[in-house]
């Protein structure tokens, strides 16, 4: 990890110049709060670059190889890093506390939460590791006099699908989940039936609520199999868009108006698009 200990001074010099007397008027008007949306946006761009480079295999980096895709990842890491340093600099100018303290606190926290690495705690499996992580977090909050609830640290603005996964994951760490996959599947079927009844009754509000329960339970079924719903759906979205773009191109090449085509003809183009994308993927070195 020697390359990770990079010298941040060049980026810090740029930041200080931007915020200096002869710097950029826009940068000098920013506050920590005004940077929030930019931080979120750049973080999403980084996530997109990583997922684009790795496809669906987010649990493994086997498909990640140096090249243009990694160029995008590195660039986006730089953008996120700059904004984090920007926010830290503004906080430090107002409070005297900034990046140096953040780094020190993060390092101490990671050491404290990994006693199986930095201490003598023995863990036999992933479940024990995660349960211990949650226990340490609760103790930290109690010592700091902050909220003691399991979900007090859950970000309010987390995207709903990712939030559902985190809710299930945290509940499982304290043993509040179905004992078996069969029970979880049974609950999913119950939620589907409740949604079906709400739809049949023509109750739009109840249908919306019941559909939410269906998705919420489906997220747990995926989690139990090691599947993260947010990442999986993102992959499905990108796959659909990639295939649809090929459909549009095929229609243009054939001199046809895609929206005006009968569904059967659209489906034929869709199948051709799927095959073309599949062939293209196979041609990419893994």
Query: pTM here?
Result: 0.68
At 280, list the tokens.
Answer: 């293209």
**CATH no. for residue 60?**
1.10.287.1080
pLDDT in tens, 45-76: 998 898 888 765 555 565 677 778 889 999 99
Which of 43, 78, 107 terminates a domain? The answer is 107
At 34, list the tokens.
Answer: 């005004």
Number of structural domains, the chain?
4
End-to-end distance of the chain based on CA atoms, in angstroms?
24
Please check whether residues 170 and 254 belong to one and the same domain: no
Asked if the structure places residue 1 within a domain, the reply is no
The pLDDT value recorded for residue 281 is: 76
Asked if the structure places residue 121 within a domain, the reply is yes
> What secondary structure, in 3-state letters, does 205-251 show?
HHHHHHHHHHHHHHHHHHHHCCCCHHHHHHHHHHHHHHHHHHHHHHH
Helix (H, G, I), strand (E, B) or coil at 160: helix
Please check whether residues 20 and 88 belong to one and the same domain: yes
The single residue listed with the structure tokens 């893994």 is: 286
pLDDT in tens, 133-182: 888 887 887 787 776 688 888 888 888 999 999 999 999 988 999 999 99
The pLDDT value recorded for residue 199 is: 97
Please check whether residues 40 and 102 belong to one and the same domain: yes
The pLDDT value recorded for residue 1 is: 43
Q: Is the separation of the CB atoms in 83 and 39 below 8 Å?
A: yes
Per mean pLDDT, which range of 58-62, 116-120, 187-191 is the poorest? 58-62
pLDDT in tens, 221-261: 999 999 999 989 989 999 999 999 999 999 999 999 999 99
The pLDDT value recorded for residue 286 is: 45
Please check whether residues 18 and 68 belong to one and the same domain: yes
The pLDDT value recorded for residue 174 is: 87
- Domain range for 189 is 160-227
Mean pLDDT in the chain? Answer: 90
Please check whether residues 132 and 188 belong to one and the same domain: no
């Amino acid at each position: 990890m020697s390359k990770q200990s990079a010298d941040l001074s060049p980026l810090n010099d740029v930041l200080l110049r931007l915020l200096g007397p002869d710097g950029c008027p826009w940068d000098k008007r920013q506050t920590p709060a005004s940077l929030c949306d930019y931080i979120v946006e750049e973080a999403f761009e980084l996530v997109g670059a990583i997922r684009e480079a790795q496809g669906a295999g987010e649990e493994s980096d086997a498909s990640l190889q140096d090249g243009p895709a990694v160029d995008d990842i590195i660039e986006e890491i730089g953008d996120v890093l700059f904004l984090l340093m920007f926010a830290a600099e503004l906080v430090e100018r107002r409070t005297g506390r900034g990046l140096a303290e953040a780094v020190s606190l993060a390092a101490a926290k990671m050491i404290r939460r990994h006693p199986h690495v930095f201490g003598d705690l023995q863990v036999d499996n992933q479940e024990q590791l995660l349960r211990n992580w949650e226990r340490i977090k609760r103790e930290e909050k109690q010592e700091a006099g902050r909220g003691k609830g399991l979900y007090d640290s859950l970000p309010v603005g987390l995207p709903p699908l990712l939030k559902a996964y985190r809710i299930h994951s945290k509940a499982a760490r304290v043993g509040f989940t179905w004992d078996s996959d069969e029970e979880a599947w049974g609950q999913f079927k119950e939620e589907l039936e409740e949604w079906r009844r709400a739809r049949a009754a023509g109750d739009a509000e109840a249908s919306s609520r019941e559909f939410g329960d269906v998705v919420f339970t489906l997220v747990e079924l995926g989690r139990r199999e090691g599947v993260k719903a947010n990442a999986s759906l993102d992959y499905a979205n990108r796959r659909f868009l990639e295939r649809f773009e090929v459909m549009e191109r095929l229609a243009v090449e054939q001199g046809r108006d895609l929206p005006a085509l009968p569904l059967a003809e659209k489906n034929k183009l869709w199948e051709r698009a799927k095959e073309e994308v599949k062939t293209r993927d196979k041609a990419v070195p893994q």
